[in-house]
Structures are given as structure tokens and as C-alpha cells.
Chains A and B, each alone.
Chain A
Amino acid sequence: MNKAIVVSLFVLILVGICVSRVKYEVVFLRKSLEGINKEMEKCSDDIKIYSAEWSYLNTPQRLKALCGKYLKNLKPLENNQLISYEQFTQSHFQEDCNRTQEGHNKAFVAFLNGVAKAKDVLEER
């Protein structure tokens, strides 16, 4: 009888301790979860502010102003600068390409001559 009572008491105390411990754990975990949630919310808020700032920095008006300032030689593409594939394969365009190629060849020969001359000058020195 005594043993049974002692064991029951021991079990009761053990269960009490466990329950108490679980409760504490839950409270602390909840606190930690709330902390994490708050942190997530803060991060999301920060991301939103950064996104808004990034969008503001990329507004078309601002980009146009920056292009005007730093890309003076570039202008928006106009429709007459584009051609269709059919036009691309037309002969006069090919001729233009050939002409350009000839120009490139001449420039390249001139460049090689220049390099050769420079080499001679250096050797003489």
C-alpha cells in the first residue's frame, strides 16, 4: 500500500514537472516564434521599401534624364531604323554590306602598314 502511494506520488510529481516543463517550453517557443515572425515582417517591410526605392530609381523619366546626361550619342530607336528579314536579304543591302567590308579591309591594311612603320622606327632607334 505504502509503496503504491509512494510510486503514485512520484509519478504524479514527475508528470507535474513534465507538464510544467512543457508549458515553459511552449511559452518560450511561442516567444521565439513571435520574434521570428516579427523579424520576417520587418524583413518584408524592408524589402518593400527597397523595391519601392528601386522602382523609383528606375522611373522612365529618371532613366531618360540619365541617358540624356551620360549617353549623349545614343537616341531612342525609331521605326525607320528597323527592317524586315525580306529587306535584309535584298541585294542592295548586301551591296552595302560588301562596301562596308571593303572599307574594313582597307582600314585593316592601313593599320598593318602603320604597325610595320612603327616597328621600323623602333628598330632604327
Chain B
Amino acid sequence: MRLFRSLFDGFALWRRAKSHSTLIEALRNRLLFAGVCAVLIFSGISYRLADVMVLSQFIDCRSKNWTSPGIIQKADIVDRNGELLATSITTASCYADPSVVIDIDEAAAKLNEIPGMPGIDRIKQKLSNRKKHFVWLARHITPQLRTQIMDLGIPGVHMLKDYKRIYIHKNLFSHVIGCSDIDGEGIYGLERKFSKQLFIKDATDKRKLVTTLDLRMQAIVHEELERAVKKFGAAGGNAMLMTTNGELIAIVSLPDFNPNNLKSTTSDAMFNRNTLGVFEQGSILKILNVAIAIDSGAASLGTVFDATEPIKIGKYLINDFRGKKRPLTLAEAFVFSSNIASAKIAQAFGASVQKAYMKKFGMLDKPQIEIPEVGRPLIPAHWTEATTMSVAYGYGLAVSPLQLLATVTSIINGGVRIVPTVINRRHPRANDQIRLVSSETSAIVRELMRSAVCYGTAKKASIDGTSIFGKTGTAYKVSGRGYGSDSTRKRITTFIGGFPSDDPQYMLLVTLDDPKPSQETFGYVTAGWNVAPAAHDIFNRIVPILCESVGKASTPIKVLKYVKLEKR
């Protein structure tokens, strides 16, 4: 307003200027000022026009980045040596904006010629909803198909940069690494557990999920277990290799699945027997039984228990498989795996002590591990004397192999509780140092397990030059309300052991589900005849790689004093 006023004032002055020269000077100045202002305003307008017409093109180019903000890349999963287990690779995905597509029939016909497209009817159906601005046409297509589709030049059909999760070793780590859906969202295993944490901003983000697994060991254990399952006609099997501080370096469960191709996967193949398979473990629980007896002071290695006659409790009969039919020391009861003597050992310390120890061992709670698919143990409703006696030799309490491995490792490794893990932590979890049994008990149990390998039921698991210790267990599978008849009974055979016995470093658990008798096993289906040789084959391949103290096989001198060995 002031400017206009000054201009009008200027015209009034102009009229009077003929008679007044100073006013003319003032008027010139004002005109000059007004002219400069006009020039500046027009310069501003011109600049803005140039900005909108020229520079905004660059801004448009920026916004035309083909990465969708909704699609996020995931971090790699690697083993303890940095070997790649799962990664995300760049792919292209095709989508359409139906509101822009001009001729749906023509577009559908053209797209139908491209392999991997959903079919002409499906394409038409997807494109028919004009209100939508985004529909997927094909995910994770190859670069060749991407070029072919783009060459069609259909308006409204676009490409997006997408990421596909790739599991390089296919079936090898299926049950532990797990799998993701088409959008990269974890749906099973570690992928599910760390689904949020695995999302990364872009490929320049170098974060990785480092696991405790070892590709070499996993491959060996997988191969040998697969061979054993085939050889003994088992319905399945599982194996775990763990360091004595709780780091799992191999976890195999058979049958398994290919996480790259979930369409052909069955629910049975997706069942992780190591963590979800909750069943009665048979004679393996005798390890816990002798640990309780020795640690509670109820018995020592030389304490004698009469195993001459079977025990009858209610409708159940506790008997031995190829029993010695004589009084046995605690050491003999363990080495020869006597059910009768084990039940009597349990009677010596009683139900309350057994339950308290089982609670302390973590056998009555859900085990802790990063894998989300973990089974809860099946605990008897009433802990009667019969329960105490049956739990002593592995019936009446159903736990997962993971739980069993963690407990046995804790007992033999100095008696301090370990927590199994599959994540390699830079700062290990603060160990709360819960003592389960004394270090003396731990050493005795270890020696007993060494004796079982040297002279007992786990003989076939031994290898030359290394002190393998272990225990076998054969349990009947529950069928309906019982265990089935003699002809239909199915068994689960387990071996648990480790090496070297004087300073345990690694623990191995191998289980076969329903192995069949063969000529090679002389018709036997007990653990000593199938799962122990399988463990031997695994030991034979992993010990040269892992063990630092080869060629030092020790003899269980302490236990030998209480074991009467019979020549066959």
C-alpha cells in the first residue's frame, strides 16, 4: 500500500515538478526504487518458474527410486566360523496399478505369455478392481523375466526391488535356522525368534546374526544320522552336538525340509524332534538316578542292590533286559543298565528327594533356548513310589532331548548348570552358577559313563585313542494308553555321551525313532545295537577335527573296583 501511495504521490509531484526541480529529483529516486522492486519481484517469479520447471525434475528422479519402503532387507545368519547360512538377495517383483491399466484384456493376454505369471484369469481378476492402486502380479522374478515384462510396455505395470531369503545349505539347518514367508517375515526357528532384529535398512548395513553352529560338524552329524536312519529303517532321528559350556554346534532332526521350497513340506518334516519331541527317555535317566543317589549320600559306587528277581508294583513288572540275575553294586547297575537295581536305588533316596533333584536339574520345566519351538515336559500328576521307581529307569517322565542333553552336560561338567544356546554372544550370559551336584559326584558319573562305553551297553560307541564316555537308553513309545503288545511295540533308542572323559569338551546326543531289527544287529533293536554304532561313526569323524588330546584313552579305575566283568 505504501508503495502504491508513494507512486501516486510521485505522479502528483510530477505534475508539480515543472515548477520545482528538487521534487523532480525525489520523484526520480522513487521511480528508480519502484523499478528495482519490480525487477526483483519478476526475478523472483522467473527463478521460481525455473525452479519448478527445471530443478523439480531432479527431485522427481529421486522419488522414482524403485525400492518400495515396505520391503525390508534382512541380515545374514552365519555359523561360528562366519560361513553363510541364510542371506537375502536382490530380486525384482512385478506389481500393477489397476487404476492406470487401459485395456485389462490386452494387458492380461500379454502378461500371460510370461512364465511365472499367475494365469490369465487370475491376472484379469487382479486388474479388474479399478479402485486399487497396488496389486502383486509376480514375486521374486528373474532379471530376464523382469526385462521381458518391462519390454511389454504395459501402462500401470511396474517393478519393485525386492529381497528373497535364501537358505544356502537347504535342508541342513532347516530346524534351527527355520524359514521366512515370501515377505521375509520369520515363521519358524531362529528366523521367527529374531524376525524383528534381523531387519536391516539396506545392504550397506553389515550386521549379522552369529550362531554357535558349525557348518562342518552339522554336515557330518547330518550325513551320519541320515545313514543310520536309512540303515536301521528308523522313522526318523535326531542328534545334537554341544560344547560343555552349552553352545550347540550341530542340531539335526530327520525328516527335515528345504526352507527354500516350503510348498512341498509336510508337518512331520517341520517337527523339530530335538526341542519339541517330548518322550520317555529310557535308561538314559539312570545317569540322573545315580547322580542323585551319590550326591544325596543315599548310596555309593559299592552299595549293593539285589537284582535277582523282577519287582512287581501294581500291574507293572520291573524287569531287566538280559539281566545279570544277581546282586549288583551301584556301578554294575549303571554299567549293565539294570532296571531292577535302578528302581531299588531310587527307593533308597525316595520320591521327595528325587522330585527335588529333578526340579533342580530343570527336568520339570520348559528348557530355555533361542529356538521358539520348544516342548514342555510331561510330568506325572502324582509322584508316587511307583513313579519314583519308573522315573529311575526312564519311564513316567517325558522330556525333550534338548532338556536331557542340557541336564546330563551340567551333571558331568563339574555339576554346575549350563543353559543351551545357539547364539554366539560377544558377552556371554551371566552364569548364575547353580550347582546341581558336587564336583566329586560329577567326576564319578563321568567315570561310570566311561565304564558303560568300555564294558557296558555303549561299547559300540567307543573309538580308538579317545576317552569316549556315554550311556545308551531304549524306551518304548507310548501307543494309545500303553506301550502296545510285544509284536507292535515301537522303540526310541538314544545315546548320550561325550569326550574326552578326563576333561569333557563336547557332548553328543543321538536318537533313532523306531529302528528295525536287522541281520547285522542279530535281531536286536536296543540302543547298543543301532544308535551306539551311529554315535561311533559320528565320533570317528568329529574327534580328529575337534579333539586336542587324541591318543589318550583313559581307563575308569575307580569304577572298575566295583564292577565284576564276565567273560563271554
Contacts and interface: CB of A to CB of B under 8 A. Distances in A.
A37 B43 CA distance: 35
Contacts of B539: 79
A9 B202 CA distance: 49
A51 B84 contact: yes
A60 B541 contact: no
B466 interface: yes
Contacts of A76: 541
B61 A79 contact: no
A79 B87 contact: no
Nearest to A59: B169
A41 B32 contact: no
B216 interface: yes
B204 A44 contact: yes
Contacts of B378: none
Contacts of A30: 62
A16 B382 CA distance: 90
Interface stretch (A65-73, A83-91, A95-103, A109-117): A83-91
B505 interface: no
B45 to A, nearest CB: 13
Contacts of A121: none
Given A31-B61, A82-B544, A59 B202 contact: no
B195 interface: no
A80 B168 contact: no
A44 B550 contact: no
Interface residues of B, number: 43
Given A41-B202, A60-B216, A84-B549, A79 B89 contact: no
B434 interface: no
B46 to A, nearest CB: 11
B55 A52 contact: no
B540 interface: yes
A120 interface: no
Contacts of B480: none
B402 to A, nearest CB: 24
Contacts, number: 94
A51 B166 CA distance: 12
A25 interface: no
B171 to A, nearest CB: 10
B40 to A, nearest CB: 8
Nearest to B36: A9
Contacts of B463: 79-80
B340 interface: no
A79 B466 contact: yes
Contacts of A5: 29, 32-33, 36
B260 to A, nearest CB: 11
Nearest to B90: A45
Contacts of B47: 20
Interface string B37-48: 000100100010
A87 B550 CA distance: 10
A84 B544 contact: no
A20 B83 CA distance: 52
Nearest to A58: B83
Contacts of B133: none
B544 A27 contact: no
B219 A52 contact: no
A31 B58 contact: yes
Contacts of B43: 16
Contacts of B33: 5
A59 B168 contact: yes
A78 interface: yes
A48 B551 contact: no
Nearest to A52: B87
B552 interface: yes
15 contacts: A16-B43, A41-B202, A41-B203, A45-B89, A48-B90, A49-B89, A52-B84, A55-B87, A55-B168, A60-B219, A79-B463, A79-B540, A80-B463, A83-B550, A86-B552
Nearest 8 CB-CB pairs, A to B? Answer: A44-B203, A84-B551, A60-B219, A55-B84, A82-B550, A45-B90, A77-B544, A83-B551
Interface of B: 29, 32-33, 36, 40, 43, 47, 55, 58, 61-62, 65, 76, 83-84, 87-90, 166, 168-169, 172, 202-204, 215-216, 219, 463-466, 539-541, 543-545, 549-552
